[in-house]
Every structure is written in structure tokens, then in C-alpha cells.
Chain A
Amino acid sequence: MKKRPNPRLYKVIFETRYKPDLSFYENYISAARQLTGYPDWETDRLRVILKNFKNHCSVAITFKSFSYTQDSENRSLEKNNMQNLLKSLPSALNISSFLRYGYRNKYIIPVNMPFHSLVSIFELKFHSQNDKMNNFLIGKVKDVGYSFDFEEKPFSYHLRIGPMKQNQMKSFLEFNKKYHLSAETEVADYEKILKSYPQIGIYADIDVYQESENLEASTALTFVNKAREKSKIIINNINDYILE
């Protein structure tokens, strides 16, 4: 049995949106204080950002949304932080219902082959092998990228996928330097992070979301747990399909 490379998680973003309410400004600082594990913070009096440089994660609370972002592979950290966030923030901000949940994972599956080979595999597996299509794709295909939107009620999905070189990963993985690295060591740390990206890999951005006029606040954590599982299933199926 051929051993396939493991997909690596590089970024997690969770965001939930709600109807703006003026009472937000009375509550947001006290709500932020309920969250532990974020030694650094900043505010412009309209929103508050809580930061943890060591774990490369942050929480942003604004008048119409709050979000959690993590630039690391640590799943158990993400699970704990999400649980704490969704347990305390909705009640602290007096939110009883949401308008939208979004849970996004960015992965790289490192591969041990030249870029042109990976492009060939993508071309073979994703393109229609119709002669008419080959007529307008003149010459040799040098690079590809695919974007899919699909739906499985109650969830909807955006999926972006493609072969990627190390020098492109920076702009697609979007490591949050401002909130996830300390200013004193930012340059050196960021350099190290960029160098740690694989030379060639399959990039997959899986965005699971749910929209409705009235999403009960108590369903947020269930959504996150299900979305996480869906995301894992999708990335494993991608890995199986492309590299089999």
C-alpha cells in the first residue's frame, strides 16, 4: 500500500456575524476580559483584539462579528479556544442569535515531486479530456487552480485548490504577522515560518459556512465541531483522489 503524505493544517479562521446592537459598546470590554489565554491586546475603542503570540492565535470582537484566527497546526489548542470563546462571548455580548457562521481551514499537502508533475496530475484528474477543451488551452498547461462552491444543507462550502510552489504559499496562507508575532522578533520569526513551508504542495482552502436569519447562539459550537469534521473528511478525500 502506497503511503500518502499527510495534509498539514496551516490556518484556522472562525467567524460569526450578528445583528449590530448599540449595547455592544457597553459590553465588549467586559466580554473580552472573560477570555483567558491572550496575554496581549489592542483596541481602537470600536473593537478589541486579543492576541497570543506564542500560540499564533487571536480573537477579534467587533460590533457585528467576532472571530478566532490561528496560524498553527495545533488542533487541541483550537478546540479548547473555540469552546471557551463560544461558551462565554455570546452571553457576555447579549447575543441570542447569529446570522452566519463560517469555519475555514487552509491546508498544504506536501509532495515530493516537481511542480510540473503536480500540474500534470491536476490537469489529468480535474480537466475534461475533451478535444475541444484542448483546442483553447493552447500548448502546454503550466499552472492550474480550481474553485468550487457546493452545498449540503444546512452547510455551504467554498473550496479552492491547486498545486503550489513555496514562494506562492506566503500570499495564500496569509500568516497574520500583526496579531500572531511579537513586534520584537517579527522579522526573524516570519522568515523562519516562510522557510518552513514545503517546496511544492497541494494547497486547499476549505470554507464551511451556514447562513440564516436566526441561528440560535447555542448551535455555534455544534456547527464548529461538525464543520471541523467535514473539513477533515474533505481534505482526506482530496489527498486520496489526487495522490492515488
Chain B
Amino acid sequence: MGTARTGNSINGSSHSSINDDFEKKADSSEYDQFKRSTASESTKEPTFFNEMGWSATGLEEELDEMDTIPVSQSFEPIALPQHNVEAQFIIRKHISDQLLDSLQKIQEHIGEPSAAIFARKIIELILDMRDRIPFDPFLDVAMALYDALAYKNLWVKYTADQYKVAYKILYRLINVKDIKDKNTDKAILELEELGFNVLPFEVSIDLDSET
């Protein structure tokens, strides 16, 4: 508890202070997890989150201001330490309660301009979830729904019944603490079978012309 706040700087000193903080943690597995996530952030290709400006806010601007960057001192975006399952579950539950509420309300307003308010709320809540608990498996399903709703305003085409079943699919997963891949895959497939366009960006490949 306290009032001191520090910015999320990309310079080396801030990074090392976070590392120092974690060095002190008694739980070594947590520290290892953090080390792994930091290391992977520094080497991997730009991710969806990086592209969205999530983990490296202001990085581009600061890099532009630098004349040269010595290879040995290359910048590493600061990885958000991963939440433990318990905390992830609480955050998911808090946001999802509002998400389910909006999924219920949109059913009552389908075909009316007011439906846009709830569609927007759903989309914002999913993005909030992405920012806060990017490692939660539940996010895979939520993002599939996001793609199906946000792309080209597809939300307007779905019926109240489709939203009703989507509600049930999400509701089933929200209270599962340890979500497995097979659970998320199944839920996404169910959304797709329900008529939600969970892959709006897919490119159709003409296999015949290749052969």
C-alpha cells in the first residue's frame, strides 16, 4: 500500500529495478516465469500486442530520438509480469460480469440503434481484458468473439438468438479457473458453428490453381 507511482520506462535502470524486485521474491518459480517472459519479449518478432502498442508505449518515438543504438545495449520492452492463476481469474471474472451483462442487453435491442451502445461496450471490455490479462486462455475465446463483432461492423448482422448462445458459451468458461486449450478450441468452434465469423481476415487459397 502506498502512493508512489513510477512510469513504465524503457530504459535500462527501470528494467533492472523490476528485476531486483523480483530477485527478492521468495517464490522462485514466479521469478523464473518472469525471466522467461522478459527473455522471450526481447527476442521474438513483433506480436499482436506489440503492434497494438501494448507493451512498448512510446518505444518508437524514443528510438527515433536516438542517433545510434549500440548493439550490446539494445532496448528490451518491459514485459508485464504474468499474473498468477488466482489473480487472472479474479480480473477475468470482474470484466466478464460486465461482458455477460452487455451480451444479455444487446439481445433486447437487436435491430435498434441502441444496440450499438452494447456492441461498443462488449468490444471495449474485450480489449480491456486483452490489456489486463493477456495470458489468460479465456482471452482466446473473447478475441474470437471480438473479431466476429468488430470487423466491418459485423455485430449488426447477428440475431438475438446468436447472442444468447454466445452468452452461454462464454458463461460456461468464465468460471473455469484452469482453462485448457481443448476448452477454448471447442468454444471457438461453437461460436463459428453458431454463425459468428471468428476468422474474418482469412484468405481463401485456391488449391486447384497451385497444382
Contacts and interface: CB of A to CB of B under 8 A. Distances in A.
A120 B87 contact: yes
Contacts of B128: 129
Interface size class of B (residues with CB under 8 A): 20 to 34
Nearest to B133: A120
B30 A168 contact: no
B38 to A, nearest CB: 14
A162 B2 contact: yes
Contact of B6 (A111, A142, A199): A142
Interface string B68-97: 000000000000110110111111011100
A138 B7 contact: yes
B132 A143 contact: no
B29 to A, nearest CB: 11
A116 to B, nearest CB: 5
Which of A129, A139, A168, A203 has the largest count of B CB atoms less than 10 A from its CB? A139
Nearest to B4: A143
A124 B93 contact: no
A120 B4 CA distance: 15
Nearest to B95: A124
B205 interface: no
B62 to A, nearest CB: 13
A199 B81 contact: no
B52 to A, nearest CB: 16
Nearest to A167: B24
B8 A143 contact: no
Given A113-B83, A116-B81, A139 B93 contact: no
Nearest to B14: A139
A143 B25 CA distance: 17
Nearest to B27: A114
B125 to A, nearest CB: 10
Contacts of B3: 143-145
Interface in B1-47: 1-9, 25-27, 30
Interface centre among A114, A121, A139, A163 (most CB of B within 10 A): A114
Contact of B2 (A2, A114, A118, A168): A168
A194 interface: no
A120 B83 contact: yes
A159 B196 CA distance: 47
A187 interface: no
B17 to A, nearest CB: 10
A129 B129 CA distance: 13
B1 A163 contact: yes
Nearest to A162: B1
B1 A121 contact: no
Interface of A: 2, 111-114, 116-118, 120-121, 124-125, 129, 137-145, 161-164, 168, 172, 199, 203, 242-244
Contacts of A203: 1
9 contacts: A111-B86, A113-B86, A114-B30, A116-B83, A117-B88, A120-B87, A139-B9, A163-B1, A164-B1
Contacts of B94: 121, 124-125, 244
B84 A114 contact: yes
A120 B91 contact: yes
Given A2-B177, A124-B94, A117 B87 contact: yes
Contacts of B9: 139
Nearest to B58: A139
Contacts of B84: 112-114, 117
| Shortest beta-carbon contacts, A-B, top 7 | A162-B1, A139-B7, A117-B87, A139-B8, A145-B1, A143-B2, A140-B8
Q: Which of B2, B3, B26, B91 has the most CB of A within 10 A?
A: B2
A121 B1 CA distance: 13
Interface string B121-148: 0000000100010000000000000000
B131 to A, nearest CB: 10
A161 B86 CA distance: 20
Contacts of B91: 120-121, 124
